[in-house]
Amino acid sequence: MMTVAEVCLLAIVICNTVILQICLGADTELPVHSIYLKQCAVWQNISESLEKEPNVDLKCVKNNECSGVDCIGKYSYQGILSALMSFEKEFCIGLIVEACNKPTNIHMYIVTFSSNGNSTAETDIVVNGDQVVPIIGAEFNVMGSVARGYVDIKMHHAVIKGQPHIFLSAFLRVKLISHIFGEVFSHYLSGFDVGIVRGMNIPVPRCDPHVGTHIHKPGMCNWHTVSHLQRQGPMTKCNPSSMDACGNFEMCELKQCVCLPNYIYSNITQSCTPEVILEFDLPFDNQVKESKKISQKYIIVIACSIATLLILLAIAATVVIKYKRRQARYSQHELLRQQEEDDDPEVV
């Protein structure tokens, strides 16, 4: 026969177990949001790191899905060899995790521009492992030799705390190729490297066929994506040497008119206006969905906590009532016994 204390303890254990299972079941959406935030932090870090790399002047932005980044700018080596010739090349680069592919891969594009800006060369790379890929259009003649740009990539899959990741290391490198007496000699030049991704574990996003997970077509160079969050302008052609090539609050950058720093292009006024906010977060629909998921989770957790408290109070009240009833019966029994003793004349 179980005592009242044992019954209460068993009831508490059972109730807490049931409530814990309910709360854990309701908590399935929170890790997804946490993973998304981690993805955004990683790609934001990649974006900011690229802008700080030596030998390049880049403007970068991660996409809204936090699965990739796009950059546009100029490569400009300023080392010792720059005294012999100019090593400058306007280009754009982007990469994205294609989560719906099996196996998951990273898609990278590099678009280089000719010196007059009238033609482009495209390099499209599907990264599934370690590889070295020549960059089309990235060549410089150096005193009878050729300096050619390459992408040196190292990539493998990993699982960290149950979440699939891709380890990626990617560098832009320049190799000098010389022909001497019929022999070919080549070696990478020091001081020319640019780190695209300097050895990072990138979280793999969920495969969602309704979300744009495929990379933008090479050749478009994704000007609008980058400039929209940076300094989009009328995108008209301009001559950098001309002081009045662009309109008010505009500047000529990479032969395109763009807004000055801290200004954005307004489609309503067709002009550059002071910037109010930079939006790097989820699209509005996704913000609402994620907000609802988090709110529902907190509501359920609060409800579980209140339910646990009510159950404990009910059990405590039951114990108190039973104790008081027992005490009352005991007191009544003692009172009756005392009365019997008082009524008994033989009791001294």
Domain regions of the chain by residue span: 41-229, 231-281
Q: What is the pLDDT of residue 343?
A: 64
Angle between helical axes of 29-51 and 284-343 (0-180°, round to 10)? 140
- What is the distance between the alpha carbons of residues 302 and 308, in angstroms, rounded to a whole number? 10
Question: How is residue 144 annotated by DSSP?
Answer: T
* Burial class of residue 206 (count of CB atoms within 10 Å of its CB; 0-12, 13-18, 19+): middle
* Burial class of residue 11 (count of CB atoms within 10 Å of its CB; 0-12, 13-18, 19+): middle
Contacts with 256 (C-beta within 8 Å, 6 or more apart), sequence order = 223, 233, 235, 236, 237, 238
- What is the distance between the alpha carbons of residues 39 and 65, in angstroms, rounded to a whole number? 9
Which has the minimum average pLDDT: 50-59, 180-189, 190-199, 265-274?
265-274
pLDDT (tens digit per residue) in 283-327: 434 444 444 555 555 676 676 678 777 777 777 777 778 777 777
pTM of the model: 0.56
Would you say 120 and 93 are in contact if contact means Cβ atoms under 8 Å apart? no
Using the predicted structure, report yes or no on whether residue 236 has a pLDDT greater than 60: yes
Q: Which of 56-60, 81-85, 292-296 has the highest mean pLDDT?
A: 56-60
pLDDT (tens digit per residue) in 110-154: 988 877 666 678 898 999 999 999 999 888 888 788 889 999 999
CB atoms within 10 A of CB 346: 5
When pLDDT is cut at 50, 70 and 90, the band that residue 233 belongs to is: low
Would you say 227 and 71 are in contact if contact means Cβ atoms under 8 Å apart? no
Residue 36: which of 311, 220, 287, 325 has the closest Cα? 287
Using the predicted structure, report yes or no on whether residue 225 has a pLDDT greater than 50: no
Q: What is the CA radius of gyration of the chain?
A: 35
Q: Could you tell me which residues are beta bridge partners of residue 254?
A: none
Question: How is residue 80 annotated by DSSP?
Answer: G
pLDDT (tens digit per residue) in 248-273: 888 887 677 877 766 766 655 667 76
Q: Which amino acid, residue 11? A: A
Q: What is the pLDDT of residue 34?
A: 74
- What is the distance between the alpha carbons of residues 301 and 288, in angstroms, rounded to a whole number? 20
Q: In whole numbers, what is the pLDDT of the chain averaged over residues?
A: 75
If DSSP codes are grouped into helix, strand and coil, which group holds residue 145?
A: strand
Give the pair of three-digit tokens for residue 42. 């990683």
Q: What is the pLDDT of residue 278?
A: 32
- Helical segments of 27-132, H only: 29-51
Q: What is the pLDDT of residue 300?
A: 66
Q: What is the pLDDT of residue 95?
A: 92
Using the predicted structure, report yes or no on whether residue 179 has a pLDDT greater than 80: yes
Would you say 165 and 201 are in contact if contact means Cβ atoms under 8 Å apart? yes
pLDDT (tens digit per residue) in 198-207: 999 999 988 8
